[in-house]
Every structure is written in structure tokens, then in C-alpha cells.
Structure 1
Amino acid sequence: MRSLVFAAILAVAAPVSAGASACRDAETQAAMNACVGEAFAEADAALNRDYGRLRARLKEDASAERKLVAAQRAWIAFRDAECAFSASSVEGGSAHGMVVAECRTHLTRQRVKELGYYLSCREGDLSCPAPLR
């Protein structure tokens, strides 16, 4: 029964990622929460790694580094607000934390891809603030 409820919540509340799919076998809400929490921790670690690498690349350009920091802070505020909205239909329920974590995982993985672009773009690309040299 819990697996069915979990699948229904994920289908409605947030895009299903590999992390959420792996969590479907969890038998309790606590186990599902822990599983999705681990997936978020992995995505967040990748985000922090790539963000740190990008900041390090911008150390000699203080203006660009400040803009990256401002963008990242704004992105975190957006992510958290978006996920609060996304999970609003289950607010107060036992699945709320899981739905928020799944949303954060999904958006964080997208941000990792965006930062990865900045880390791999080449000089000459006008939309590349931190080209490889």
C-alpha cells in the first residue's frame, strides 16, 4: 500500500528521478524519507563540488565571482520556494519531507548540469563567464 501511495505522490508532486525510483522499494515512510534524503545529499554534494570549482576558476575576476555568488544564493531561494510550492498539496502529511527532498534533488541535479556547462565551456563562447583556458 505504501509503495502505491509513494508512486502516486511522486507522479503528481515532482518529476521522478533515479533516486526516487530506487526508493520505491522502501517499506515505510521513514525509509522512503531516508532514501530520498540520501539522493538529495548526493546531488547537493555534487552541486557544492562544482560550485566550488567554478568559484575557484573566477578567483581572479572578483566581479564575476560576486555575480556567481549572488546567482547561487538566488537559485537556492528559488529552489526552496519552488519545492515548498510543489509540496504544498501534502503539507502537514508524513510524505511532505519526502516530496520536498525529491523536488530539491531534481532541481539540484539540473543546477549541477548548468554549472557543468560553465566548467566546460570554451573561450570564445560569449555566454561563458568562466572559460577553460
Structure 2
Amino acid sequence: MKWTLTIALFTATFQAVGSCDAPKDQKEANTCYTSASLSLNKSLALQIDEYGARLSASQVSQLHASQAAWESYRKAQCTFEASGAQDSPAYPEVHAQCAILMAQARLQLIRRIQYCKAGPIPCPVPWE
């Protein structure tokens, strides 16, 4: 059930981002990209919760600390990347696009470690 929901949210996010390709104006672009970013954040949170269900209490704490640190990094990085548009109406779009790209990369990383197999390189909890 959760996996189906994760896929649905992930698919909806990419559809939302794809629909941002031809906005009528800057306000629509800002709204679209911000909405897509929020949707991707929900997918990421769901993926982390799903993965956390397989971890020990200590590992869950470590995962949440890692996620909190990553969120702080993303905020700082995207604020920096969008700083060139700070006084522009496009600032929300630029910031959201950065957040989307970083969240997509984080989601791929979480999935990689969530479904890693036991082998020569250890993973937190091997997928069986």
C-alpha cells in the first residue's frame, strides 16, 4: 500500500513539473514549481517513513538527523543559487527548481540505500 502511494506521489510530482513547462506568466510558473516542490517533498517524506519502518530505533534517529541536516543544506544551497534572482519576480521559481532537483537526487539516494543488497559494501539494512 505505502509503495503504491509512494509511486503515485512520485509520478504526480513529475507530471506537475512537466506541466510547468509552458506557464502563461511568472505568477503561474512560481505557483506551479512551488507546488511541484511541495509534492516532491511529500514523496520524499513518505519514502523516508517507509524506509524507517525497516530500521532500528537508533538507525531511525540517524536517518532523521541526516534528513534534517540535508533539509538545512538544501535551504541554504537553494537560497544561494536563487540569490541572483532575489529581487526578481522569478525568485520563487528559481528557488523551487533548485529544491526540486535536490529533492529528486535525495529521493534517488534514499531509494538506493533502502533497496541495497548485502554484499562487499555494507548497507544499513540489506533488502531481501
Provide the C-alpha distance between the structure 2 equivalents of 1:104 and 1:114, rounded to a whole number of angstroms.
Answer: 15
Pairs aligned (count)? 115
Question: Which residues in structure 2 correspond to 1:83-102 (within 5 Å)?
Answer: 83-102=78-97
Provide the C-alpha distance between the structure 2 equivalents of 1:46 and 1:130, rounded to a whole number of angstroms.
Answer: 21
Q: Which amino acid aligns with 1:89?
A: G
Quote the residue 2:32 is aligned against. Answer: 35
Task: Kindly indicate whether structure 1 or structure 2 has the higher relative contact order, using CA contacts under 8 Å at least 6 residues apart.
Answer: 1
Runs of 4+ in 1 over 6 A off after TM superposition: none
1:125: how far off?
Answer: 5.1
1:119: how far off?
Answer: 1.6
Provide the C-alpha distance between the structure 2 equivalents of 1:105 and 1:22, rounded to a whole number of angstroms.
Answer: 14
What value does the CA root-mean-square deviation take over the aligned residues? 1.9
Give the TM-score, by structure 2 length.
0.80
Q: Percent identity?
A: 28
Task: Show structure 2 runs of 5+ residues with no match.
Answer: 1-13
Quote the residue 1:69 is aligned against. Answer: 64
Q: Which amino acid aligns with 2:101?
A: H
- Quickly say closer, same or farther: Cα 1:88–1:18, change in 2 above 3 A: farther
Give the TM-score, by structure 1 length.
0.77
Quote the residue 2:119 is aligned against. Answer: 124
Q: Name the larger-Rg structure.
A: 1
Q: Which amino acid aligns with 1:55?
A: G
